[in-house]
């Protein structure tokens, strides 16, 4: 039976370190790091994420501002809000929660956030730096959080075959770059799989590490996992669940019950990658703060 990689506990460990650093800055008379988050519309998942990020900021002593706008906001109005924050010297990092309403071009918005405050790592400059192995930029919070988890558990990725399923700009693509770069959580041989991949099961069965980031509940089944492989589940789909008061449950991309019989290590959902994503974001915000000083 696989060891569970406890994202919640590891996140708490890193948050304590961040809180200590913040306390030291504040005791020197400096202001605390400040993260601003823009939330457009009423999407339940986005609201939950933004509120969790806000709580985490408060836990580590960051200032946190949530700017909420109705789904009817125009692209031009939203761009003005982004520019206000770009020019606000009291704010170190800005995230605009995705997805945005259809009439707003997400790419235009994410490219308007100045790279220095782009703690989501979505700006072309930050994506370009990542692709080049230049660590002076910001890496998307979920892949960054996963590398922090790998490091914490001393998981050796060197020379291993890592299979990433999903090629999104937020998770799959940056994850594939991090695992292949020359670093302590890299040096893997990476295969990036997606919806058009043929023989996915055969490829997965050769993986020492699998990162499932496709957004399809329970997609990765036990028979796709080589005995002893390490499985990282990025999925967070909300499925109807009438047995719960809130009416839904969170489903990962991995069929956990079967997968844990084959894997040597596995992240649960919830309590695996989710808390590490928030830690990745806190890490980026602290980095932005230190650079602005
Ligand atoms: N939507 C889903 N994941 C993310 C993320 O990491 N950042 C932002 N801004 N929106 C998201």
- Quick: pLDDT tens for 156-174: 999 999 999 999 999 999 9
**Residue 98 CA, closest ligand 1 atom number:** 10
- Mutate which of 99, 170, 215, 236 for ligand 1? The one with the most ligand atoms within 8 Å of its CB, which is 170
Query: Ligand 1 centroid vs 169 CA: distance in angstroms?
Result: 10
Architecture per CATH, domain 141-274, reads as 3-Layer(aba) Sandwich (3.40)
Q: In angstroms, what CA-CA distances link 60 with 20, 75, 198, 274, 286?
A: 8, 33, 45, 17, 10
- Which one of 6, 15, 53, 253 is the catalytic residue? 53
Q: Beta partners for 254?
A: 220
List the chain residues with pLDDT less than 50. none
Residues 272, 263: Cα–Cα separation, whole Å: 15
CB of 278 shorter than 6 A to ligand 1: no
At 224 the pLDDT is: 98
At 182 the pLDDT is: 97
CB of 170 shorter than 6 A to ligand 1: yes
**Number of CB atoms found within 10 A of residue 240's CB:** 8
At 78 the pLDDT is: 98
Report domain extents, the chain: 29-117, 141-274
At 25 the pLDDT is: 98
Q: What is the CATH number of domain 29-117?
A: 3.40.50.10860
Say if pTM beats, i.e. exceeds, 0.85. yes
At 216 the pLDDT is: 98
CB of 147 shorter than 6 A to ligand 1: no
Do the domains at 29-117 and 141-274 have one common CATH topology?
A: yes
Tokens 């001393």 belong to: 154
At 293 the pLDDT is: 76
Query: Ligand 1 centroid vs 97 CA: distance in angstroms?
Result: 5
Residues 112, 108: Cα–Cα separation, whole Å: 6
| pLDDT tens-digit map of 199-235 | 999 999 999 999 999 999 999 999 999 999 999 999 9
Query: Ligand 1 centroid vs 240 CA: distance in angstroms?
Result: 22
Residues 288, 113: Cα–Cα separation, whole Å: 13
Please indicate whether residue 53 is annotated as part of the active site: yes
Q: How deeply is 196 buried, as exposed, middle or buried, from its count of CB atoms within 10 A (0-12, 13-18, 19+)? A: exposed
Q: How deeply is 86 buried, as exposed, middle or buried, from its count of CB atoms within 10 A (0-12, 13-18, 19+)? A: middle
Structural Rg of the chain based on CA atoms: 19
CB of 284 shorter than 6 A to ligand 1: no
Tell me the CA end-to-end span of the chain in Å, nearest whole number: 48
Please indicate whether residue 201 is annotated as part of the active site: no
- Mutate which of 39, 51, 95, 174 for ligand 1? The one with the most ligand atoms within 8 Å of its CB, which is 95
Residues 8, 6: Cα–Cα separation, whole Å: 5
- Which one of 6, 92, 118, 120 is the catalytic residue? 120
Residues 206, 243: Cα–Cα separation, whole Å: 38
């Amino acid at each position: 039976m696989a060891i569970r990689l406890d994202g919640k506990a590891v996140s708490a460990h890193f948050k304590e370190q961040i809180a200590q650093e913040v306390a030291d800055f504040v005791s020197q008379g400096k202001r605390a790091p400040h993260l601003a988050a823009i939330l457009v519309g009423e999407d339940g998942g986005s609201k939950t994420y933004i509120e969790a990020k806000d709580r985490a900021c408060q836990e580590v002593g960051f200032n946190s501002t949530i700017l909420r706008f109705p789904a009817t906001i125009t692209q031009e109005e939203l761009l003005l809000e982004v520019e206000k924050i770009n020019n606000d010297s009291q704010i170190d990092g800005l995230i605009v929660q995705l997805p945005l309403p259809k009439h707003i071009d997400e790419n235009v918005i994410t490219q308007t956030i100045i790279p220095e405050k782009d703690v989501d790592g979505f700006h072309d400059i930050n994506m370009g730096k990542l692709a080049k192995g230049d660590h002076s930029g910001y890496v998307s919070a979920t892949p960054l959080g996963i590398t922090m988890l790998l490091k914490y558990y001393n998981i050796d990725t060197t020379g291993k075959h890592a299979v990433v399923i999903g090629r999104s700009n937020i998770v799959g693509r940056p994850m594939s770059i991090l695992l292949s770069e020359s670093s302590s959580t890299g040096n893997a041989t990476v295969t990036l799989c997606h919806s058009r991949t043929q023989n996915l099961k055969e490829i997965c069965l050769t993986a020492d590490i699998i990162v499932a980031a496709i957004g399809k509940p329970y997609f990765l089944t036990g028979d796709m996992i080589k005995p002893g492989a390490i499985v990282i589940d990025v999925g967070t789909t909300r499925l109807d669940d009438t047995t719960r008061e809130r009416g839904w449950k969170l489903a990962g991309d991995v069929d956990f019950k079967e997968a844990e019989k084959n894997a040597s290590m596995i992240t649960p959902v919830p309590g695996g990658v989710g808390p590490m994503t928030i830690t990745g974001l806190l890490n980026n915000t602290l980095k932005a703060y230190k650079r602005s000083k």
